[in-house]
Structure 1
């Protein structure tokens, strides 16, 4: 088969459309014929040599895909050849075929086209496992009536987080760059719109909440925003860091955190054990798939690229002009 490989760490041009060995499903796994894969910031980090796949994972980039089950391994129950699926991956989505543990497999939701479904698994699992409760796992536990601040509201994570937060009855504040992106966030349900290029998000949030701040902050930036995120928290607030676009080392004011009785947590999805991923996928299928089927939540896709042109998609993601997800589609 063919897959996108990384010749060496570097820019988008190191991505190559190469002949590689076909994967074989083992016990509890299925082989998926890929229709589309989504592009994530983690893929850029992997391409640059800064985010290696977990042990045993495919070396090829791609953390989510959609497609059709082409073969099933031993001891697989509930899935059959021909099923249309989407999948949370530890790697390997930028390929014609990929092996997936059944615990990370989801049916394509009602009302969603097969290709578009590639935009769902990684963002939905990330948002649900960080904003809402999955048994036995740490999460913000966002509740109806609370205010959540979502940084990067126009990103793939952001567009999904806005919709899910609104679906549970939370009030949504977002940061985004420019009027067009903020308008897209408002259309999805965000009420407090902050242009991070022109406005101080802490001041704007306080003005909009009568000085209270956010009960939950979902942050993809990391170190650069750490002090201001703590300032933005309400008493008893929860800061959840899921990205490092603004650096990995920041200064944390413990006095401010103590005064607010607030908490800071940081999580990632790719490196979680298979059992934890399966629990998250199960919760997503139970709680989020009905919302998608009912039309209350939808995948937001900005644009698509041929799979063999993954380098162009990486350039587009780095330029940050998109709203929602970028997809790679099989020719």
Structure 2
């Protein structure tokens, strides 16, 4: 089979596209004929060696996938050949990556694909959909009528947060850096869309949120959080989700934080148990079927363009170029 692999960590050009043996599924694994995969920031951090997750080389890159079951191991109970599936969490903690024509995946990390959802959509929504759902509901315990703020509502996680929060009956504030990205946020259903370059951004956020008591859930997607600003905008007993910014060391406003009874939750989706992730996946599938959740695709490339895809992801994550709205998807 063809696969995108690395033999050492480094820049995107360390990615090779070549031949590897097609894996044979172990007893609890499903062999998936891959229809589509998606690129995530965590993929680039692992490839670059910033995050240590690689157990051996050559290493197949990639977390997300969607495709069709080719065959199953002897102990698999939930799937059979011909089923369409999607999943995430590959390439982590010793699991094999997803950027290949075939991937052998433990059935605990796979979910049925809705009949009308394409493999491209399913892959695009995998990690970001699970991240948004688990952050909002498992960790922040979002309730209808609360106010959610998320930076970058046209990005992968941001667009997922906007849609899932709206589907739950929340009021959503988000930001964009261009008229195009702001228009995308409006179409996703955000109640207030602001230009994050605005000189009075915080005043606009407060003007909308204060009649509701402030912001109840602040979903921080930025790599450099500004906690003084965040805490000042929060409602009493509000929840702040931190899921980005590994190297960030911001100042922390202890007094304003504790007198509001606030909670701050550190959250990495890949730490979720198989049961927690499956519960979120089932909800995402239902929301898709009821047209309340649609993963955003920004670019589709062939799998052989994996080095280019990683470079594009880094340009948008690290350099903030803003050239991609939604996920970068690759097809074998």
TM-score for both structures, normalised by structure 2: 0.90
Tell me: CA distance 1:289–1:25, structure 2 relative to 1, closer, same or farther (3 Å): same
- Checking the alignment, whether the CA contact within 8 Å between 1:86 and 1:108 is kept in structure 2 is yes
Aligned residue for 1:281?
278
Q: Distance in 2 between matches of 1:131 and 1:56?
A: 35
Whole-Å separation in 2 of the counterparts to 1:261 and 1:222: 25
1:71 aligns with 2:68: no
**Residue 98 in structure 1 maps to residue 94 in structure 2:** no
Q: Contact 1:222 / 1:241 at 8 angstroms: preserved in 2?
A: no
2: CA distance, partners of 1:12 / 1:199: 36
The 5 Å alignment of 1:181-220 reads 181-210=181-210, 212-220=213-221
Asked if 1 retains the 8 angstrom alpha-carbon contact of 2:158 and 2:221, the reply is no
Match of 1:323 among 302, 325, 328: 325
8 Å contact kept, 1:172–1:191: yes
Aligned to 2:319: none
Secondary structure (helix, strand or coil) at the match of 1:130 reads: helix
Q: Is the 8 A contact 1:53 1:90 kept in 2?
A: no
Aligned CA distance change for structure 1 residues 239 and 163 (closer, same or farther; 3 Å): same
Compared CA separation, residues 227 and 15, structure 1 to 2 (3 A): farther
Cα deviation, residue 109, structure 1: 1.3
- Which structure 1 residue ranges, 5 or more long, are not aligned? 134-138
SS in 2 for 1:288: helix
Q: 1:292 to 1:123 in 2, by over 3 A?
A: same
**Alignment gaps of 5+ in structure 2:** 92-96, 317-321
Q: TM-score, normalised by structure 1?
A: 0.90
CA distance in 2, matches of 1:78, 1:208: 46
1:8 aligns with 2:8: yes
CA RMSD after TM alignment:
2.1
Deviations 1:53-81 (A, max 9, x none): 27699932211111111121121112111
Q: Is the 8 A contact 1:54 1:90 kept in 2?
A: no
**Deviates further, 94-103 or 162-171:** 94-103
CA contact (8 A) 1:39 1:326 kept: yes
* Deviation (angstroms), 1:7: 4.0
Q: Among residues 281, 289, 292, which one is paired with 2:288 in the alignment?
A: 292
Q: How many residue pairs get matched?
A: 320
* Aligned mates of 1:132, 1:223 — CA distance in 2: 24
